[in-house]
Amino acid sequence: MLRVKHGCAALGIVFAVALSGCVTLPANSKRVPQDPWESWNRGVYKVNDKLDRAVAKPVARTYVRAVPKPVRTGISNFFQNLRQTTVMVNDALQGKFKAAANDLGRFLLNSTVGMGGLLDPATQAGLDLNDEDFGQTLGHWGVHPGPFVEIPLLGPSDVRDGVGRGVDIFTGPAHYVSNQPVSYSLYVVELVDTRTGLLPLDETLKNVYDPYAFIRDAYLQRRAYLISDGKLSEEPLEDPGEDEPPAKKVPDPAPPREQPARAAQPGNPE
């Protein structure tokens, strides 16, 4: 019954966001094919940003001031270790069995020697830290990402990654904690830890003309990079102010050569 009430409350929040979801696009904004729902997405982003400024950011800053850095590092390591189960499952689903064995080794080593994941001896042992999820698995097998979507309370995504997030819940150990206060506490602390890791980006967003477009493009580029395992070819940078190629430089004309003096001919006066 408690979960049903929380679910109804969450749906109520989503519905309220939906009512305020459509906004007018900025002047001279360029349409992006991956974002056909831009008007809705900007409205949801506006609400998400207000909630972030009112709740998430102040909590994250208080967390940084109140909790010593070694403790925060241990908490980050703990949640990173919990996520290894999701990573190894998706490694296997993509046929990356060597990476799956690597991630299984990370999880076992950090869970035992690393005191439940608070320490990270696996990195010192040379075990790579991989990043995989079900959205990447779908992309690996050719599933199209679909339109970009700003999810209420959760932030940027696309249709494929939104489905992937739902599946990833079932591959994390926290989902199977039967004690609800403990389960919710883990979820809240993880959110605070995640928001704390994003604090350095706040200063960057202050200097951006259109934060929504900046976050959207950064998200889409990062996801494309992860799904391709970093094999995307770099495109040359283009200057938007240059519509025509620069004119070729014409070499300076050579100075006129001096004509040799003609010898005097008979009958011709000098």
Please state the pTM of the whole predicted model: 0.77
Cα–Cα distances (Å) from 127 to 9, 101, 103, 130, 216, in that order, read: 42, 10, 8, 9, 32
pLDDT digit string, tens, across residues 103-148: 999 999 999 999 999 999 999 999 999 999 999 999 999 999 999 9
Which residue's structure tokens are 């976050």?
A: 215
Angle at 78 between CA 75 and CA 81, to 5 degrees: 150
Q: Work out the number of other CB atoms within 10 angstroms of the CB of residue 109.
A: 20
Length of the chain: 270
Which percentage of the chain shows pLDDT scores above 70?
75
Q: Residue 229 has what pLDDT?
A: 87
The mean pLDDT of 197-213, rounded to a whole number, is: 93
Sign of CA dihedral 211, 217, 220, 224: negative
Cross-strand partners of 151: 155
Percent of the chain with pLDDT over 90: 71
What is the mean pLDDT of the segment spanning 205-222? 94
* pLDDT for the residue 13: 57
- The confidence score (pLDDT) of residue 230 equals 83
Supply the pLDDT for residue 32: 85
